[in-house]
Amino acid sequence: MPLRKLAVLSAGLSQPSSTRMLADKIAVAVDSRLTELGCETEVLSCDLRDYAQDVTNNMLTGFPSPRLDAVIEAVTGADGLIAVTPIFTTSFSGLFKSFFDVIDNRSLTDMPVVIGATAGTARHSLALDYAIRPMFTYLHAVVVPTTVFAASEDWGSGADKIKALSDRIDRAAGELAALMVNSDRSSQIRDPFALDSSFSVTGGF
């Protein structure tokens, strides 16, 4: 059974976090879909709030701490990514954006991604398409068509609301799993600064 690596990033700041809850629900659905497609899944879940200071220091110094570097390597070396952020002032959180600012902007090329967001009201749902999707497009990632947004009311007891969120999660999970099945990113990850094997020095200075 082939192994597929799934990275799950949550930028929620509270504890417990509805943002982390949404990320976990999507991850469970993707894992289930990959199993149906004959793949084993290795999941790395990361709460960015635990690395906030590391991210800030990286922005100031230009170098990641060992613990942040491990997260960056796990994310960029995955076959698929789930990225979920709370919406603050009509856009992604500063912590969410800062994490993607400190990674190499070529490291997510061809990465299949599900984007998700949480907020108090459904009127913020458009932020997924006018703010978050363009960022991943700039990074040359492949964002699945279905986005997953959860407002406070989506966690309520109404059966219709719960089903609507569940339907969006299942649809996005199916789209991500279909891309991850054919992914070979983890076997192609290489150091972007490494010299080509054909490079040779033929003369002195």
- pLDDT tens profile 86-133: 999 889 999 999 999 999 999 999 999 999 999 988 888 899 999 999
Q: Which of 184, 119, 126 is nearest to 152 (CA)?
A: 119
How far apart, in whole angstroms, are the C-alpha atoms of residue 18 and residue 13? 10
Structure tokens at 24: 């976990």
Q: Is residue 175 part of a domain?
A: yes
Q: Is residue 90 part of a domain?
A: yes
How far apart, in whole angstroms, are the C-alpha atoms of residue 24 and residue 71? 17
Using alpha carbons only, how large is the chain's radius of gyration in Å?
A: 18
**Percent residues over pLDDT 90 in the chain:** 75
Q: Is residue 197 part of a domain?
A: no
- Quote the number of domains for the chain: 1
Residue entry with tokens 């068509």: 145
CA 45 to chain CA centroid, Å, is 10
Tell me which of 99-103, 178-182, 185-189 is least confident: 185-189
Instruction: Please say if the pLDDT value at position 205 is more than 70.
Output: no
Q: Is residue 15 part of a domain?
A: yes
Between 155 and 26, name the one with better pLDDT: 26
CATH of the domain at 16: 3.40.50.360
Q: With contact defined as beta carbons under 8 Å apart, do 46 and 7 qualify? A: yes
pTM: 0.87
Q: Is residue 191 part of a domain?
A: no
pLDDT tens column, 40-78: 999 999 999 999 999 999 999 999 999 999 999 999 999
Where in the sequence is the domain holding 166, given as residue range(s)? 3-186
Q: Is residue 153 part of a domain?
A: yes
Of the CA atoms within 13 Å of residue 182, those in its CB half-sphere come to 6
Q: Is residue 203 part of a domain?
A: no
Q: Is residue 25 part of a domain?
A: yes
